[in-house]
Structure 1
Amino acid sequence: MDLEPLPDWVTPPPGGFTADDFFRMRGLPRHTELIDGSLVFVSPQRKWHVRVIDLLRTELNRQAPEHLCADREMTVRLSDRHAPEPDVLVVSAESYERDEPSTYYLPEEVVLVIEAVSPDSEIRDREVKPRRYREAGIKYYWRVEENEGQTIVYAYQIDPAHDGYVLTGIHHDYLNMSGPFPIEIDLTAVTKRR
Structure 2
Amino acid sequence: MRPPRASGWEADDLDLLPPEAPRHIELLNGALIFDAAPRRSWHDRVIRRLAAALELVVEPGSTVEAQMTIKLNNRSRPEPDVIVAQVPYAPERTRFLPAEVDLVVEVVSAESEHRDRRYKPRLYAEAGLRHLWRIEDEDGQPVVHTYELDDTTDSYEATGVYRDRLTVTVPIALDLSLSTLTR
TM-score bracket, shorter-length normalisation: over 0.9
Instruction: In structure 2, give the amino acid aligned to 1:45.
Output: R
Aligned to 1:4: none
CA–CA distance in structure 2, aligned partners of residues 174 and 156 of structure 1: 16
Counting matched residue pairs gives 181
How far 1:45 moved relative to its partner? Answer: 1.1
Which of the residues 21, 24, 33 maps onto 1:31?
24
Instruction: Select 1:44's aligned residue among 38, 43, 67.
Output: 38
141, 166, 174: which one aligns with 2:132: 141
Cα distance, 1:13 vs. partner? 5.5
Deviation per CA, 1:131-167: give whole Å up to 9, x if none: 1111111110011110111110110010112221100
SS at match of 2:52: helix
Structure number with greater Rg is: 1
* CA RMSD in angstroms, aligned pairs only: 1.6
Q: Which residue of 1 aligns with 2:155?
A: 164
> In 2, Cα distance between the equivalents of 1:162 and 1:11?
35
Looking at structure 1, the residues matched to 179 and 2 of structure 2 have their Cα atoms a distance apart, in angstroms, of 41
1:64 aligned residue: 58
Q: Any stretches of 5+ residues in structure 2 without a counterpart?
A: none
Match of 1:92 in 2: 86
Separation (CA, whole Å) in 2 of partners of 1:163 and 1:35? 19
What residue is the counterpart of 2:106 in the other structure? 115
Q: Secondary structure of 2:148's partner?
A: strand
Aligned residues: percent identity? 40
| C-alpha distance in structure 2 between counterparts of 1:178 and 1:41, whole Å | 34
Q: Secondary structure at the match of 2:56?
A: helix
Shift in CA distance, 71/38, structure 1 to aligned 2, threshold 3 Å: same
1:106 & 1:73 partners in 2: Cα distance?
14
Q: Which runs of 5+ in 1 are unaligned?
A: 1-8
TM-score (norm 1): 0.87
Instruction: Return the alpha-carbon distance in structure 2 between the equivalents of residues 38 and 14 of structure 1.
Output: 13
Q: Which amino acid aligns with 2:33?
A: V
Q: Deviating runs (4+, > 4 A) in structure 1? A: 10-15
SS at match of 1:153: strand
The offset of 1:41, in angstroms, is 1.0
> How many Å separate the matches in 2 of 1:124 and 1:13?
26
Match of 1:6? Answer: none
